[in-house]
Amino acid sequence: MDKLAEQSIIKILNDEYGIKNGNDLYKMDSEDVAEIYENLKGEQEEYDLSDEEMEEILDKILNIK
């Protein structure tokens, strides 16, 4: 797993959106979630992460699974 990518995603979720766990994300309205998704897709492309790697990072950060 790419630590730099993970740190960048944490920064986006925590600092820009105040998301600390999965519950915070589920409480957001759909427009905000769509914006977050677009930002995270950009990070995924920038760090050349597979869908599986991105899912692993998000699961870890959001304490899902």
pTM of the model: 0.83
Q: Is 57 exposed, middle or buried (0-12, 13-18, 19+ CB in 10 A)?
A: buried
The residues, any chain, with a CB within 8 Å of residue 25's CB and separated by 6 or more, are 13, 19, 33, 36, 62
For the segment 26-36, what is each residue's pLDDT rounded down to a tens digit?
899 999 999 99
- pLDDT value at position 1? 61
Distance between CA atoms of residues 61 and 15, nearest Å: 13
Distance between CA atoms of residues 4 and 43, nearest Å: 10
